[in-house]
Amino acid sequence: MEKLASWSEHKDSGVRYFSGVGTYKKAFTLPDDFLRKNRRISLDLGAVRELAEVLVNGKSAGTLWRSPYVIDITPHVQPGKNDLTIKVVNTWVNRLIGDKNVPKEEWICKIVSPDPWWYKANSPLPSSGLLGPVYIRASLEYSAPLK
């Protein structure tokens, strides 16, 4: 995708009704002065629907499952080029709704839904994916003894 947007708003029905893991990749460059002593580097993902695993330079920095979607990436970054991978997982709701829009033999999730309260073909699709905005922030680490 060219820019961050909800999968549920995509023109392609395969994306719009997708449920599972979507992977975002981006290279970024950190200036040398970002990595000074007592400075922490954090990644702020903005809005995520629903869960995100963050990998920096091939190493997992952790998994975020609720707001705020912010994680300390200091141990994983280096001066210069860095590779960022964000794996986002949504719920299966969009897939269940998508299946209601095609003949039963084309369903991907073979589940019998207990009507009348289950998802319908015209149920609203929840937002999915990495919505952002995404920021990298540098901040000073502050510590002082308690008195």
Residue whose tokens read 């979507």:
22
Residue 38: per-residue pLDDT: 84
Distance CA 8, CA 10 (A): 6
Q: For residues 145 and 69, which has the higher predicted lDDT (pLDDT)?
A: 69
**pLDDT, tens digit, for every residue of 89-123?**
999 999 999 998 988 888 888 776 666 567 888 99
- pLDDT for 36 beyond 90: no
Distance CA 115, CA 78 (A): 54
**Percent of the chain with pLDDT strictly greater than 70:** 93
Fold of 7-91+125-136: Jelly Rolls (2.60.120)
Whole-structure pTM value: 0.89
Q: For residues 16 and 1, which has the higher predicted lDDT (pLDDT)?
A: 16
> Do 134 and 56 form a contact (C-beta atoms < 8 A)?
no
Q: Virtual CA dihedral for 90, 92, 94, 100, nearest 10 degrees?
A: 170
- What are the sequence ranges of the domains in the chain? 7-91+125-136
